Chain A
């Protein structure tokens, strides 16, 4: 599974302060730490309260790239910020994210095509997040078909079925699992899938346990990647085990280490 490290996000106090003070220290530290622990991409988010998202994104992209060669996932609802960040990325990046809504898809897919970027597509539209799997899959298919019209191959897309906390929307769980399975029937090659892993455990007790249980269940249903805490060792070990059980990696006794060290 592809791990998109979640930690460089203005939602976290240390990163918010770093952005505000233009202090590269914490950003460098988290970039290196997540890479060391096996992240494959680094998510970059200036945070909800940023007053100058474009400038902040540009700074964050440059500073992160000083510490790590991993590809970046530019995470913002402000497409100007994403576009400014894309121009600075040293290697093809990921855009996080676009819903299945028309003017937004046009804007995002056009810039993705221009920069060779991958795109996280959200299975939601103006009407919000559908409850049942059929509607979610329908929206995913629209994302794939629209991307196709922009010359973007389906496997450049990561569809996020959208996960709600399990304590408030328990009935969504099975629908998310079914959505993950059926997304693979949209096209050949199929689009990839992703989730914001920690959403499942918002407001619950024992969040790490719920996160990693959800991760391995979702993998069994076809999940390809997650925006997650790469520094959660138990999570990474569970993911490494699931990859073995699903025959995605060839087993050896040191399978956890091998999974985490793949980028080193």
Chain B
């Protein structure tokens, strides 16, 4: 009996965004990465196109992070050198791209100057040839002073820069507009703000509407992940049904969110009922990332090299054609 396969008829499509630039386009990357372009729900190849596989980044900081000690064996030797750190992420751990987090710019931490920040980004760009994302310290006032110097120093590289928020989107967007970078638009687990922010950025420059990456603010497994999951599902459904202001690729940091949680960090001695810590942490992160993938994420940021490996393997499997 031939079953009549159920395919949704969508009229919309997620926009494609190119990350990085090669020499031909004024950059120094060895290749670019294209994300988005879906005309189907995640990995349902039978009903539409999934032209670009989701990509996975690792994170490099401009200061020594206070990460779980189990990560020392992977990154401990490069914590002090963003260039070497980035290189290790790409060469040894297989990151598709690098996210530089300029945590050290935080006035309450190392208070790195805008010039220091630009130099860090340059150093990473020189050390690796993959596309690079850059996000600020999380302190909006300070971050607004670093976007321009970074955007200018890396002009032509087609960075992904963030984050733009509803209350503070102009500085980073202008820096991206002027130097042809891509902007991350972050909304606080709120699809309405997500859409409005995209509209506001597109109003600043229509050309920017194809240079936006949505950060819906993802939560970790066990800590509200189901909200992120549903928001991403709704946004992606909206995009496929023709809502252009939600039709941008999505981004989320599974590593950062997971490793903030007790379940990833607490030792087996302290919590014998939960099993061995490192594998638990890896799986807390990988399971978080798996759920993001199933709800439509296009760019994942990970932390533990093992979690990255497992998730890349999962993406390989999911990208296999399943049309009938």
Contacts and interface: CB of A to CB of B under 8 A. Distances in A.
B243 A250 contact: yes
Contacts of B63: none
Interface string A61-82: 0000000000000000000000
A253 B196 contact: yes
A262 B242 contact: yes
Nearest to B194: A252
Interface in A94-132: none
A251 B243 CA distance: 11
Contact of B191 (A250, A257, A262): A250
A262 B246 CA distance: 13
A119 to B, nearest CB: 19
A249 B199 contact: no
A254 B199 contact: yes
A89 interface: no
Contacts of A252: 192-193, 195-196, 199, 245
B196 A250 contact: no
Given A258-B245, A262-B242, A250 B234 contact: yes
Nearest to B192: A251
A249 B196 contact: no
Contacts of A258: 195, 199, 245
Nearest to B234: A250
A250 B195 contact: yes
A250 B216 CA distance: 14
A250 B199 contact: no
B48 interface: no
Contacts of B234: 250
A71 B253 CA distance: 43
A254 B246 contact: no
B156 interface: no
Interface string B182-196: 000000000111011
A252 B191 CA distance: 8
B305 interface: no
A251 B245 CA distance: 11
Contacts of A257: 199
A165 to B, nearest CB: 35
A253 B196 CA distance: 6
Interface residues of A, number: 9
A249 B243 contact: yes
Interface string B224-248: 0000000000110010001111100
Nearest to B203: A254
Nearest to A251: B192
Contacts of B246: 250
A226 B196 CA distance: 28
Contacts of B244: 262
Contacts of B238: 250
**Which of A250, A253, A257, A258 neighbours the largest number of chain B CB atoms within 10 Å of its CB?**
A250
B175 to A, nearest CB: 24
A251 B196 CA distance: 8
B192 A250 contact: yes
Contacts of A249: 243
Interface in B160-202: 191-193, 195-196, 199
A257 B199 CA distance: 10
A254 B192 contact: no
A249 B239 CA distance: 11
Contacts of B242: 262
Nearest to A261: B244
Interface string B207-235: 00000000000000000000000000011
B275 to A, nearest CB: 41
A251 B246 CA distance: 11
Contacts of B199: 252, 254, 257-258
A197 B242 CA distance: 26
Interface string A210-232: 00000000000000000000000
Nearest to A249: B243
Nearest to A258: B245
A224 to B, nearest CB: 14
Contacts of A253: 192, 196
Nearest to B197: A252
A261 to B, nearest CB: 9
A171 to B, nearest CB: 38
Interface in A228-264: 249-254, 257-258, 262
A226 to B, nearest CB: 19
23 contacts: A249-B243, A250-B191, A250-B195, A250-B234, A250-B235, A250-B238, A250-B246, A251-B195, A252-B193, A252-B195, A252-B196, A252-B199, A252-B245, A253-B192, A253-B196, A254-B196, A254-B199, A257-B199, A258-B195, A258-B199, A258-B245, A262-B242, A262-B244
Interface of B: 191-193, 195-196, 199, 234-235, 238, 242-246
Closest A-B pairs by Cβ, 9 of them: A252-B195, A252-B196, A251-B192, A253-B196, A254-B199, A250-B238, A252-B192, A250-B191, A250-B195
Given A249-B243, A252-B199, 17 more contacts: A250-B191, A250-B195, A250-B235, A250-B238, A250-B243, A250-B246, A251-B195, A252-B192, A252-B196, A253-B196, A254-B196, A254-B199, A257-B199, A258-B195, A258-B199, A262-B242, A262-B244
